[in-house]
Amino acid sequence: MTSAANAAPEKSPTFGNPDQPAEGAVNVTNPKALTDPGPQDPTLAGTQPAFLNPPATDVNGMPQYWASFNLAPKRIQNGGWARQVTQDDFKISTTVAGVNMRLGPGGVRELHWHQQAEWAVMTYGTCRVTILDTMGRPQVADVKEGDLWYFPAGLPHSLQGLEPDGCEFVLAFDNGESSEFNTLLVTDWIAHTPPDVLAKNFGVPVEAFKNIPLHNRWIYQSNIPAPPLPTVETQMAAVAGKPPNPFVFRLGDMQPNRETKSGTVRIADSTNFHVSKTIAASQVIVKPGGMREMHWHPNADEWLYILKGTGRATVFNTGPAALTANFRPGDIGYMKKALGHYLENTGNTDLVYMEVFRADRFEEVSLSDWLAHSPIERKGYPRNTVRRSFCAAAIQSASFVFAIPRIEKHDSAGSNAAQRILKALETESRPHAGTYIEASTTKRPTIKQTKPLVTSEAHGQPSA
């Protein structure tokens, strides 16, 4: 047993290694303490290097905010399959339940409706969607990869995979407890209604229903080729006309709301996708070496879905608490409202993902934007701590590691803030030992190649 007298003295906290007792493998003195000789699945564990070897800045843990469709069981029927991640599987996800569905060519998701609103993004192929609103106005549309749809709670709809290779999509329900396997199906309702009631309701003889399905279809294979879209539009036409606002949104066809050398952002919420009253979403593309800057969302939790590429995120909470996770295609993240986070591209291809919120509008606060537009001095805060903030460190970096968006765009207020911070740095002495940031005024942040993806402009405004 090692005596207290012989124990190595604890190091003072440093920038990037802020805690006592110290966290992370970098602080382990006996290499054997880092080994994992017990039972394990290296292939599965290897998908989460951040879990196996977290950065020294991770501390205290927090509810698991990573899940994956890749580990969800599929329900397969003739015509297609689906798998889901709901709050039953992913406790933290209280506002959104996710479903990944595939329909082969001619595969049909039967006529149904939900008690919750359904939002979707197409990830592959072509799908035909139909819906009827409360005024008896129908819509039919063929949607492709990158398109969205939104069906308000209670509105009946159906889906069909089209030639040549069907479709795949991801659904988000605006309630974490929703389940794709527990929906209101027209086959179920008709099969469980007395035949004489059906005859009276539809004005036909009872015999007309003798061959109805006695079990729900859910997903089934149709052997009848899908007619051309104009033909179906004519068949479905109603005296009431078409819905005033479409239930489909061509997200991939719109100009980005924000575009920088590091990526693009496209936003679809009730301001432009007018029917989408309970779901706001953004598609984010981050170039290799770039990152979705440090930020938070003041109005809703974020449900994150990775479409392409690889990334790494850290979520920050009071405590302090910080947890880092890796993300790959098919993975899901969930960041609670107002908790700080970022997502960096760790691969050599574009990182593409969707941010989904149970809200009518997309809202966010950028950390760098806030710091750039805050006074240098704040009564009650130590001068060193304020002046040697992350904002100041970012301004020293030629690559703007943690971007000041308005400085990057030569905003006058931001430029003035930058000059004030730089001037303070020139005259300020080093912070006292043990303060959160311990770095010389000439030392740059260590992630020099990172290029920020800035999205803190006024909502809906494209960059210059």
Catalytic residues: 355
Query: How many residues make up the chain in this entry?
Result: 464
The secondary element (H helix, E strand) that includes residue 94 is none
Question: 38 to each of 33, 35, 51, 223, 423, how far by Cα in Å?
Answer: 13, 9, 16, 53, 55
Q: Are 330 and 72 a contacting pair, CB within 8 Å?
A: no
Q: Are 284 and 256 a contacting pair, CB within 8 Å?
A: no
Residue 367, by phi and psi: left (phi above 0), alpha (psi -120 to 50) or beta?
Answer: alpha
Q: Which two tokens stand for residue 397?
A: 């970096």
The CA-based dihedral angle spanning residues 74, 78, 80, 81, taken in that order and rounded to the nearest 10 degrees: -10
Residue 413, by phi and psi: left (phi above 0), alpha (psi -120 to 50) or beta?
Answer: alpha
Asked if residue 21 has a cis previous peptide bond (ω within 30° of 0), the answer is: yes
The CA-based dihedral angle spanning residues 21, 26, 27, 31, taken in that order and rounded to the nearest 10 degrees: 140
**Percentage helix, strand, coil for the chain under 3-state DSSP, each rounded to 5:** 20, 30, 50
